[in-house]
Structure 1
């Protein structure tokens, strides 16, 4: 007869492997978002492009992810989380094989879009599986996922720096395969089988998908035009499309973006807004600093990668501590500390000068790494305080769409500031913008209520 204590141990081991399977898949999107940042100068040289041109490689990945996350979240609810997760891994495999063979810059953008769509499947599908299978200490489980997903983005520039230094930019895509293989094997063995579903593709609001894509792309064109000055007609076109999209989705019984839900649940909507702001700051730093270090501080790719380890290292150290704190006290205290350190870290960027030492820059960036550890996990757990388990797929997809709305805005900010020339003055301008955004984040955190830990019964605001 099996001792009773063996069963919990076995269940614990299975839960750990299940989390690992999801984590290895979810890291692919943020990791590939930021790994390429250190390779941008090399890609500019390879394809003979300016920084403003190469920024399309970043922006299109964000755009595809922003659209792909809610689609894959909806599909995971309709067709099964395991199916969608495995489909995403297959698409990432295909794109990672083909991207290094790109004959031109347009082809590389196309393969990156496929990669973005595929990697968008893992977070909403994986979060649905985690919330369904793990019922106790979810904040700690989410903390592990945060290390692999949000914090992996912080490791991206460091990994990219080493890969470019010892190989070349194609190695950034080949680096995905160990994670793909491990995640695929574990998911195939451990994920529960999907139940048979009667819903078909009629459950998707394809017109809403197209409308949303066009609207986001128009906003992207508007923000990227900042480097050449303010364009009124692009602003008006983006605003009009947004209004029409809102009214269009409001009339839908099964909308792509549930705007009625966002209107009704104010707290959820404000969490999405705050997560957009978090990612404007984070990705402005993750893409702006590596280019600044190489162009102004004259560091090579390897040195840049080492300096950028400050953000990743402190983020990894802080995240599990934040998970335990959130389990005890809820999300708000951790978010308060995270937003305060954002303001402090961005203001400390003003101390960096043309010939600042690598150690001084490392210490400044470490403050932002601390903020990243608190903010990413705090935002995830805050969301699930206001979302039922049945809504996890679509809510997670919209959450990640918020991330990529923030990254789109960050790429637009960098294109406006660094599009023609990268200087310390431009870095300081970016720091002031990010500090103001940090103040807005702090205001939203102070406004956030402390709901019950049940999540499903939390007040909507």
Structure 2
């Protein structure tokens, strides 16, 4: 590739890595945040919820907003928002303000994710497959090393560092992006009937508000019950309001012409629906370990942030190493053998967590981390392959959007599961219960993969 293309690719890569990096670094920082703000895990888990709910809403919306603002402008705006949030968040005096800046940071980084791939596809015309694979390394690599980076920062400084570390990446991306990303004209202009009301309908503003408020209210209701230890009229009422809002959201999405989440698609394409269910379960399993294990290691086993980050690195590295192997395996044998192997690995890793006791060497946890890491690499490639086979060609864009939404829902559910099981404080007994639940879910995943294999055999469809 030409020098200009490499500079553009690095500019976009430095921007898009901020979302996975910031979503993963916080895994090791949670115990430190509990201490700094004198909160329990259930309360601090909102640092995870806030980021993923905001990302789930912002990423699909920002793709449409780029039609209004232009891709280059949206990318630079995302960098500016991320810079401001990363600079101001360390000044937060209360946890509420920290959550607010975390949401702003999520929205800013989502702007870049939404248009980054499109910018590379349009403006890097030679060796495009290689360019996209490099961009994928920025994304997956940032997620893989996030806990390690978070552990190092927490060991040498405190929680403020996980925000300030973004600034060099943002500055580097701004300088390169300003020079290398060509200007593009918005494909849709405001005016001519395309006013605020028009864009509100196009973006499904009502659906977005109902989805976000309903999900937040439901989470507040459930987690407040676990945190307080008893049901009160107030937390029950908040939970019920959340359920009602989500029901209204579902009804609205079924009627609107431009739904935020096209629920009618699930009914029309059941095979694609099952892929999304499986991807949600996969992420529920993976992120339950991803966010739960660092807190267990630091709170229960008294492992330092430094060594926790080192241990968690094995999870990300195994996932990265498994991805290219998964691609070759799936090209040769189809996705189903790889997916079945990944589910069995998750069962093995979950059972291993259940067998741990207070005297088990901490290093043995690497076995479970390796099992989940390899499984994650196989699942990411395998389920995407199944998605593209189950979705009609004209719906690939919609299918990809739903696929990402399933990932965010799985991640949110993982944090909810940890909060419900652990409550206000991590314990050895709670972690064992979490391991049992993960074993049950991973066994269910095995059953789902086997069911698909039998269904395909019954229909005489080749497995490859």
- Report the TM-score range of the alignment, normalised by the length of the smaller protein: 0.7 to 0.9
Alignment of 1:37-116 (within 5 A): 37-76=27-66, 79-116=69-106
Other-structure match for 1:164: 154
Secondary structure of 2:372's match? helix
Go from structure 1 to structure 2 and tell me whether the alpha carbon gap of 1:31 and 1:136 turns closer, same or farther (over 3 Å shift): same
User: Match of 1:175?
Assistant: 165
Q: How does 1:14-413 map to 2 (within 5 A)?
A: 20-76=10-66, 79-129=69-119, 144-150=134-140, 152-189=142-179, 191=181, 193-198=183-188, 200=190, 202=199, 203-225=202-224, 227=226, 228=229, 236-385=240-389, 395-413=399-417
1:326–1:20: structure 2 CA closer, same or farther, 3 Å change rule? farther
Counterpart CA distance in 1 for 2:285 and 2:325 is: 22
Q: 1:189 to 1:169 in 2, by over 3 A?
A: same
CA–CA separation in structure 2 for the residues paired with 1:136 and 1:259: 38
CA distance in 1, matches of 2:75, 2:212: 22
Q: Which stretch shifts more, 409-418 or 194-203?
A: 194-203
Q: How many residues align?
A: 440
- Residues in 1 aligned to 2:302 and 2:269: alpha-carbon distance in whole angstroms: 49
Mark the CA change 1:178 to 1:226 in structure 2 (over 3 Å): closer, same or farther.
same
RMSD of aligned C-alpha atoms?
3.2
> Residues 341 and 371 of structure 1 are in contact (CA less than 8 Å); yes or no, is this contact kept in structure 2?
yes
Shift, 1:15, TM fit: 6.7
Query: CA separation in 2, counterparts of 1:373 and 1:140?
Result: 19
Secondary structure at the aligned position of 2:273 is classed as: helix
Distance 1:278 1:63, change over 3 A: same
TM-score normalised to structure 2 length: 0.83
- Distance, in Å, in 2 between the alignment partners of 1:358 and 1:387 is 43
* Deviation at residue 78 of structure 1 after TM alignment: 5.3
Separation in structure 2 between the aligned mates of residue 405 and residue 265 of structure 1, nearest angstrom: 20
What TM-score do you get using the length of structure 1 for normalisation? Answer: 0.84
Q: Which has the larger displacement, 332-341 or 406-415?
A: 332-341
Output the CA distance in 2 between the equivalents of 1:310 and 1:320. 17
400 and 189 in structure 1: CA distance in 2 versus 1, 3 angstrom threshold: farther
* Closer, same or farther: CA 378–76 of 1 in aligned 2, 3 Å: farther
Q: What displacement does 1:108 show? A: 0.9
CA change 1:190–1:375 in 2 (3 A) is farther
2: CA distance, partners of 1:262 / 1:18: 37
CA change 1:264–1:175 in 2 (3 A) is: same
The separation in 1 between residues aligned to 2:75 and 2:395, in whole angstroms, is 17
Q: Which whole-Å CA distance do the structure 1 matches of 2:89 and 2:281 have between them?
A: 31
Separation (CA, whole Å) in 2 of partners of 1:387 and 1:193: 33
- CA gap of 1:339–1:126, structure 2 versus 1, over 3 A, is farther
Query: Which digits, 9 at most, give the CA deviation of each residue in 1:146-198, with x for residues without a partner?
Result: 54334533422221111111122111112113332344445445556535412
Tell which has more relative contact order, 1 or 2 (C-alpha 8 A, sep 6+): 1
Partners of 1:85 and 1:386 in 2: CA distance: 32
